[in-house]
Structure 1
Amino acid sequence: MNQRIDIRMSCSDDAYDIWQLMCEHADYEGHTLVVSGQLQTLQNQTYPAAIWVVEIDGSIVGYMSLIKQFSTWDMKHYLYLDCLYLRPEVRGKGLGKAMLMKASEFAQELSLSEIQWQTPTSNTNAIGFYRRLGAIDKEKQRFFWNHNEFN
């Protein structure tokens, strides 16, 4: 049985599916997605990221978001992979690699030579996958600061 697999740029019609995947992704990483207009923003496509979806036979089973960033240390732009998520039932079938190859093509279109991302240290499956692809990891601690609540 052949499945039709498509990795494509998202459109406003994909908003609800992406939002559901975002909720699943947050849960997978041990967080709760605070709902504050994500669905409407996705529907209106008013965000700076390029969001790609993975479709199998017309069902969206994963997404990734890519953002052009600037490194002051290197004095050059790079592509930042903010999110990459696949539903558990489709992992291990080559889709993650295919998504990263799509990210690589997108980086080349933007004349960017590097892609950067981060993943929780507890996500050992992803870390192993990224290392097998030849990605190099650098240990850092990520911080979140709601500066509006700072006294």
Structure 2
Amino acid sequence: MILRPATPEDLPRLLPLVASYHAHEGITSRPDQALADTLLGLLAHPDRGRIWLIEQDGQPAGYLAIAFGYSIELGGREAAIDEIFVTPDHRGKGLGAKALTSFLDWAKHEHLVAIHLDVAPDNDGARRLYARLGFESFMGYELMSCLLPSGIAPEGH
């Protein structure tokens, strides 16, 4: 398994992966150009976040996307895992765990102070994986969101 930074040239490889993840999660699909523009918002602006391709034997097996933030409470730059996806034919082989472990090593090297993610309450497998890698509920807080008109509609989630 290789976790490598994606570049704008990887957009044709990323688009079907993101579309597959969104279909898997029941997220309303967006026009290809709108999705491409969103991905380029990270790929062309690494100060906002990063996307990595998860590859197995030279083929795309998934991706990991993060967005940066800054925490006064925690004392510095942090990141949220926005999406992580492993294709169905590559699941159950430990690629997600390996990708997350590689990402966490990168995050420590970058001196990030925290990594956040959200997970569905009924996704027991992901919860076990995340807990094994050191993720836990933060002071009992629950993620709440206010989706603004410029984003996608709430029914798309």
- Measured on the aligned residues, the alpha-carbon RMSD in Å equals 2.4
TM-score norm. by structure 2 comes to 0.77
Question: Contact 2:54 / 2:63 at 8 angstroms: preserved in 1?
Answer: yes
Tell whether 2:124 aligns with 1:128. no
Show structure 2 runs of 5+ residues with no match: 152-157
Larger relative contact order, structure 1 or 2 (CA cutoff 8 Å, min sep 6) = 2
Give the CA deviation at 1:41: 5.3
Equivalences for 1:1-151 in 2 at 5 Å?
5-35=1-31, 36-40=33-37, 42=39, 45-47=43-45, 48-138=48-138, 140-147=142-149
Q: Give, in whole Å, the separation in 1 of the partners of 2:64 and 2:150.
A: 29
Q: Give, in whole Å, the separation in 1 of the partners of 2:127 and 2:150.
A: 34
Q: Give, in whole Å, the separation in 2 of the partners of 1:11 and 1:137.
A: 32
Q: Give, in whole Å, the separation in 2 of the partners of 1:125 and 1:107.
A: 23
The alignment partner of 1:37 has SS state of: helix
Count of residue pairs brought into register by the alignment:
145
Q: Give, in whole Å, the separation in 2 of the partners of 1:118 and 1:67.
A: 13
Give the CA deviation at 1:122: 3.3
Q: Give, in whole Å, the separation in 2 of the partners of 1:7 and 1:54.
A: 5
TM-score norm. by structure 1 comes to 0.80
Give the CA deviation at 1:118: 0.9
Q: Give, in whole Å, the separation in 1 of the partners of 2:54 and 2:150.
A: 36
